[in-house]
Structure 1
Amino acid sequence: MSKTPVTAVFDIGKTNKKFFLFDEDLNVVFSTYTRLDPLPDEDDFPSEPLGPLCEWMLQTFKEALKSEEFQLKKLNFSCHGASLVHTDAAGNPTTPLYDYLKPFPEDLLSRFYEENGGKMNFCRATSSPPLAMLNSGLQLYFIKYAKPELFRKIKHSFHFPQFLSFLFTGEKVSDYTSIGCHTGLWDYEANDYHEWVDREGIRPLLPPIVPGNTLLKTKPELGNIPCGIGVHDSSSALLPYLKQETEPFALLSTGTWAITINPFNKTKLTKKELKRDCLHFLSIKGVPIKISRLFIGEEHKHQIDELYAHFNLPLGTYKKLKFELEIYEKVARQKQKRVRFQYLNPSLFDMEQAEANDWSVFPEFTEAYYTFIHELTELQVASIQLVTQNAPVNRLFVDGGFNANDIFVEMLRLKLPEMTIIPSDFPNGSALGAAMLASMN
């Protein structure tokens, strides 16, 4: 019996680590996933469990190689950004994979901005809002001055997707989608690394940049299979739409973050936009793409836990709700803000929020949940408009976890009447994009 030729993709999120096999029509024919507990770093802050992750990936891939049903023809990776893996000369990690939520010493951060022309000038030059550890390039500055003994051991610094490619191929490369993802490394005016990278002696640690559709080969013991260099997940999620669509559109890619991407917006960043978490990504070819971000996945998780506890309801209750216009109109008439956000800052958008959550003012869960989503989507609409107001589009695709949330999607429709809101046909968008990249050659 002949085997089905497939492209394998590891799609590594912060929560779920997934493995897909795509057939030649780019349909998923197999998938599996795992979740791994964080490991404490040397400061006792949770970090990505890099060792267990590598073991799981290699074992999963070797099992797929032995499959009697599938023949692995290509391999690629998509994963979350803002993460660097530092290795020694032998390719072994020399530091933990620091979590992007790890605190950055304030005095060190202030010194960095002072040395580089001031915070907002630097942020504008690098299209990177001031996000501390989330500006992953600054992690190298942090290690150099806060942990010099570790810095001395570093010979190579990989963006996370390219480290995974290195794990399978032994080849050291960098790609534009990771470099351009609010790292503080790239000077968008100069179209090269920012001058601080050379001043601090960082450039020699960064592998050469190659095009996003480059194919390498897996190591002989892993089958000598054509292997991609990996791609930043949000950039990857855009690729299926770019291939399918001929008219301008924007994409709202949702999960832990809601990232609005307008590939047709060529305007320069303003300082006001930067403060509102609007920035540029780089495409697989190194072309700037304007995006805005909102931390809605974590916010939703926090608020829903509070709501379930208050109303004494089981997990998953909100998923049973369907949109009802009457309930929405009732909560929309309410002038007083009811929600105190944990992770979002409405004042950045000149909006107010409640002093504290008081769920007891609601007679039941549904109205409380509608109120939360109403106030959340007010912020989401403001975030979307950051990338659409100067480059209007009439269609917005919504993919990722929130595209299945009927209340969220319908509220966006009512608040953005000038746009057609389209829940996505690409549920595994970032993995699909990585599979498409591997198939471009």
Structure 2
Amino acid sequence: MTASSNRNIAVIDIGKTNAKLVLLGGNGQLIDTRSTPNRSIELDVGGTTILAHDTERLWKFILDGLRAFEAEYGVGAISITTHGATAALVAGDELALPVLDYESPLPETCAQAYALARGEFEETLSPRLPNGLNLGAQIFWQAQSFPDKFARVTAILTYPQYWAWRLTGKRASEATSLGCHTDLWNPNTGDFSEVVVQQGWRALFPPVKPAAAVLGHITARVAVETGLPADTPVCSGIHDSNASLVPYLTRFQNPVTVISSGTWTICMTLGGSTAALDKERDSLANVDALGRPVPTARFMGGREFDLLVPNYAEPSAADIAFVIEQQVQAYPSFVAGVGPYGQRRGEWSVDKSVLTEGQRTAAATLYLAHLTRAALGLCGVGEAIIVEGPLARNALYCRALTALTERPVHASQDSTGTSFGAAVLCCEDLPQAPLPAAFPPLVVQGFKNYSEGWEKKTKNL
């Protein structure tokens, strides 16, 4: 591996909402972290306004953070993890086009043309998603809309590998980023899909390398700007949801479900079957760091929670009892086009304005638990469930999920979330804390009827 157990590992962790730089020690402990909002910017490209990632601001954030980490603690290796559905179209040593935000709307005419060009779900296990959530749709639109600029493209780099390229000057492709609802990858064959070949893009993708592979050492320029040693190794990088799976790839013999939470709530069942995946309900196959298909179902849990709960208040036992007794329900979906019920507009069963902040928080939390159970019906549920990220700190969510699934639910105590999994790529023997005891199930009078009411309401959605 690239880093011995006594080296500090810097992880570049670019989520959709926030970007972080995390420093972990050789014993797995969190040493330091820095963060910045990951705000997109509107740019005019040939008379067309697009929503793009502010890569130069992020690059400055990365270099500044690495410089500070090196000066105070020392950095022995760098790993990278980012959100999916994003790629850089590179022309030589620069961008041919800005890095498109997957939430940038694509014209309907493009969507119709791409629908005819993309492969079948049975090949890619990638459903058609809105805007640019299918990376193939972004590339297709850019090729059609900016043919002169696209003709200059010498490489298509998925997002973790874009940052790895900026750090090392070396180019690679990687399966977890190619296999996250992009339409570009066939998870069963472990190779590019037919649309890549038919569109003439195959030669633009660099050779595929494992996420844990050392792509190279930092460039001389990066060494000067950060003070890092010139031989600092950089791993090729990994898709963030799949980074959450890395610590569990060899830890369990039986199927296990990992729920990665943040802007997205991603339910992934290692060792599970892809047979129940439904392209109409935002379920798909991801690809893990070992190249294996992982049945996955997802929804924008963090974003929905923020919409449902403008002012968070820790719910009391009385708040929870009131919500359950009075059947205060939120029904999906509050983010259009994604999740098991993405075609339906969300609603409350009561006038939400009469609820206290604690009651509203309790109802929204139970909503996420029920939505998670619906997602698990698509990707399968393992013999145990491990919750990562913000939802791991929500005891009501974990207890409700225990009751709803009748499975032990463990909350990961790793405060760095996906960053730890990315760090494991650099140091295979990085110690992981044992899982805490499973949550007791939620036992509140009327909860069974409450749950049955939610199921009845959503049964035919």
TM-score in same-fold range (> 0.5)? yes
Q: Work out the CA distance in 2 between the residues paired with 1:149 and 1:356.
A: 53
Structure 1 residue 97: Cα displacement: 1.5
1:31-50 matches, cutoff 5 A: 31-42=33-44, 43-50=48-55
Distance 2:9 2:332 in 1: 45
- Residue 248 of structure 1 is matched in structure 2 by 255
SS in 1 for 2:398: helix
**Sequence identity percentage:** 24
Work out whether residues 294 and 344 of structure 1, in 8 Å CA contact, stay in contact via their aligned partners in 2. no
**Structure 2 contact 188–293 (Cα < 8 Å) conserved:** no
Pick from 425, 430, 433: which aligns with 2:413? 425
Please give the alpha-carbon distance, in whole angstroms, between the structure 2 residues aligned to 1:349 and 1:135.
16
User: Which letter maps to 1:401?
Assistant: P
Q: 1:312 maps to what in 2? A: none
271, 275, 282: which is aligned to 1:264? 271
Q: Does 1:274 align with 2:273?
A: no
1:397 lines up with 2:390 in the alignment: no
8 A contact 1:349–1:379 mirrored in 2: no
- Classify the secondary structure of the residue corresponding to 2:111: helix
Extract unaligned runs of 5+ from structure 1: 309-316
Q: Give the Å deviation of 1:347.
A: 7.7
TM-score when normalising by structure 2:
0.82
CA 1:336–1:301 in 2, change beyond 3 Å: closer, same or farther? Answer: closer
Give the CA deviation at 1:344: 5.4
Structure 1 residues 336 and 353, CA, compared in 2 at 3 Å: closer, same or farther? Answer: farther
Distance 2:345 2:145 in 1: 38
Q: Determine whether 1:7 maps to 2:9.
A: yes
Aligned residues: 411
Q: Secondary structure at the match of 2:212?
A: coil
Is 1:224 paired with 2:224?
Answer: no
Tell me if 1:408 matches 2:369.
no
Task: Give 1:57's aligned amino acid.
Answer: I
SS where residue 5 of structure 1 aligns? coil
Amino acid at match of 2:365: I
Opposite residue 85 of structure 2, the aligned amino acid is: A
Aligned position for 2:351: 358
CA distance in 2, matches of 1:399, 1:112: 35
Residues 1:291 and 1:135: Cα distance change in structure 2 (over 3 Å): same
- 1:24-103 equivalent positions in 2, closer than 5 A: 24-42=26-44, 43-65=48-70, 67=71, 69-89=72-92, 91-103=93-105
Give, in angstroms, the shift of residue 157 of structure 1.
1.0
What's the offset of the Cα at 1:424? 1.0
Aligned partner of 1:130 among 128, 144, 154? 128
Shift of 1:61: 1.9
1:284-316 CA distances to partner (integer Å, 9 max, x unpaired)?
2211111111111111111212xx4xxxxxxxx
Contact kept, 8 Å, 2:7 with 2:77, in 1: the verdict is no
Do the aligned partners of residues 36 and 114 (structure 1) sit closer, same or farther apart at CA in structure 2, a change above 3 Å counting?
A: closer
- Offset of 1:356 from its aligned partner? 8.5
> Contact (CA 8 Å) 1:339, 1:357: kept in 2 or not?
no
Given that residues 243 and 419 in structure 2 are in contact (C-alpha distance below 8 angstroms), is that contact kept between their aligned partners in structure 1?
A: yes
Say whether residues 1:203 and 2:210 are aligned partners.
no
Alpha carbons of 1:290 and 1:145: their partners in 2 closer, same or farther (altered >3 Å)?
same
| Greater CA drift, 72-81 or 212-221 | 212-221
C-alpha distance in 1 between matches for 2:147 and 2:350? 44
Structure 1 letter corresponding to 2:315: L
Give the structure with the larger helix fraction: 1
Find the residue that maps to 1:57 and give its secondary structure.
helix
Give the superposition deviation at 1:105.
1.8
Which stretches of structure 1, 4 residues or longer, exceed 6 Å deviation after superposition? Answer: 349-352
Which AA in structure 2 matches 1:150?
K
- Alpha-carbon distance in structure 2 between the residues aligned to 1:37 and 1:377: 29
* Code of the aligned partner of 1:348: Y
- For the structure 1 residues 93 and 251, does the alpha-carbon distance in structure 2 shift closer, same or farther, using more than 3 Å as the test? same
Give the aligned partner of residue 441 of structure 2.
none
Q: Report SS of the residue matched to 1:72.
A: coil
CA deviation profile, 1:338-359 (whole Å, cap 9, x unmatched)? 5574215788399995378722
**Equivalent AA in structure 2 for residue 19 of structure 1:** L
For each residue in 1:142-165, what CA deviation from the matched residue of structure 2 results, as whole angstroms up to 9, or x when unmatched? 101122232122211100000110
Answer whether contact 2:330 2:347 (CA < 8 A) is retained.
yes
Matched, 1:321 2:321: no
Distance 1:349 1:134 in 2: 14
Given residue 217 of structure 1, which amino acid in structure 2 is its aligned partner?
Answer: H
Distance 1:191 1:246, change over 3 A: closer
Aligned to 1:144: 143
1:387 is the counterpart of 2:392: no
- Structure 2 residue runs of 5 or longer lacking an equivalent are 1-5, 224-229, 430-461
Aligned partners of 2:213, 2:265: CA distance in 1, in Å? 28
**Partner of residue 432, structure 2:** none
